[in-house]
Amino acid sequence: MLPVEEAVHRIIQSVKTKGTENVALVDGLNRILADDVVAPMDLPRFTHATVDGFAIGRQGAKGASIPKGSRFRVIENVRAGSVARSLVKPGLAIRVMTGAPLPPGADAVIKEEDTTLRGSRTLIQIERSIAPYENLASAGESVHRGELILQRGTKLRPRNIGILASFGIHEVEVFQQPAVAVFSTGNELVGLEDRLESGKIFASSLYVLLAKLKASGCVPVSLGVIRDDAAHIRKQIRSGLVADAIITVGGTQRGDSDWVRDVFRQMKIHTKIDGVAMSPGKSFTFGLLEEKPIFSLPGSPTACIVVFEELVRPALMKMKGEIGYQNPAGSTIKMILDGKVRGKPKLRKYVLAMVVLRDGRLTAIPINRGHRGSLMPIAKANGAIILPEDSLEMRSGNEVNVRFFDGGP
């Protein structure tokens, strides 16, 4: 069996990044940027007021503060979106709103509440000294023209959409979304559209994977549920080749009704991985057919999800062009254990966990109740405790490494 890191490396080396397409800015949400974006202009474009107040200039030596008690005659009002028509000279001021361009001749803005009217609405007195450049946002203060603002491979979040919009960018080049075909096998399984007969169960792992694929920015293609029959399975794999990748669920354990290795051999699928030193999930199999990756996951819901997060997600991230696919779920985070866990000889063990914030520290509570055929532990878990190979028993209070599911908390 391969170590987990070697398995990830082989998978990543076997898949290719998709092509690119241009989409409208908002349609780029959660898509992966296909090229670096550099600022087409300074941001802010012009120096502007950051408060409502009065734009004033130096009366004395350059760089000196204007003293408290100084008086100015107001000669104009400028709202945001307008520009001043007048020049600010010593003893003069222009009233400006937040966001209004700084009038020529001014080098600071005094807050309106730091002034008082004297005699008429056109004469003000400042009630504190004011230094040069106070209450201003300078042109280019945030970003200079030509500066890198978003890197190729970035997943476009709402905040990124806002940044691009602030530069007037209305269209983005993104990587195409990989289509992934998924089917489950098992004589005991039925789909949600089927009648639940005696001895049957719903193929819950299939729907978890379809949801995870959609959430991760792929296009899920459900091929449904089929029985453990080699001919049907071969046909389903063939039909799945219209997609960019295929995920099969079930049939990886060595037994009478488990088919993966036989079908891989019959279809001449180039097997690159046949077992990984991890628990659960050691029966994972991976291969290529017509250069399309085929991931065969265990049918157990717990094993299925763990394998998807650790071994399948890196490949999908590379296919999408996303940064960080070499370490897809992010670095592990050290947390305090609340419970008891034990490793396995020669296997990296993953224990589902519920992460909570307790007394200011992240705490991992292992979810040991239930069995691997149940989705209930997964419903409570938002991550997994990762125990290195040959780990000894760990108890409450010990530090453990935890990785969040879905690439984050």
Locate all alpha helices (DSSP H) within 26-157, ordered by sequence: none
333-407 CATH pick, 3.90.1150.10, 2.60.40.10, 2.40.340.10, 3.30.70.1110: 2.40.340.10
- Given this model, what pLDDT does residue 43 score? 94
CATH of region 48-137, choose from 3.40.50.10490, 3.30.420.40, 3.10.510.20, 2.170.190.11: 2.170.190.11
Domain ranges of the chain: 4-18+177-320, 20-43+141-175, 48-137, 333-407
Please tell me the distance from the alpha carbon of residue 272 to that of residue 35, in angstroms, as a whole number: 31
DSSP of 250-264, one letter per residue?
S--SSSTT--HHHHH
Q: Which two tokens stand for residue 128?
A: 């504190």
DSSP state of 113: G
What is the pLDDT, as a whole number, of residue 180? 98
pLDDT at 364: 96
Decide the pairing of beta strands 48-49 and 399-404.
unpaired
Evaluate whether the domain defined by 4-18+177-320 bears CATH number 3.40.50.1360.
no
Q: Which three-class secondary structure string do you get for 165-231?
A: HHCCCCEEEEECCCEEEEEEECCCEECCCCCCCCCCEECHHHHHHHHHHHHCCCEEEEEEEECCCHH
**How large a percentage of the chain has pLDDT more than 70?**
93
d(CA 182, CA 214): 12
Q: What is the pLDDT of residue 273?
A: 95
* Residue spans of the chain under pLDDT 50: 256, 329
Classified by CATH at the fold level, domain 20-43+141-175 comes out as Molybdopterin biosynthesis moea protein, domain 2 (3.90.105)
Per-residue pLDDT of 249-264, as tens digits, reads 987 666 545 678 889 9
CA distance 371 to 367: 10
For position 256, what pLDDT does the model report? 45
Closest CA relative to residue 259, chosen from 241, 240, 235: 235
CA–CA distance, 145 with 377 (Å, rounded to integer): 51
Query: 142-177: buried (b, 16+ CB within 10 Å) or exposed (e) per residue?
Result: ebeeeeebbeebbbbeeebbebbebbebeebebbbb
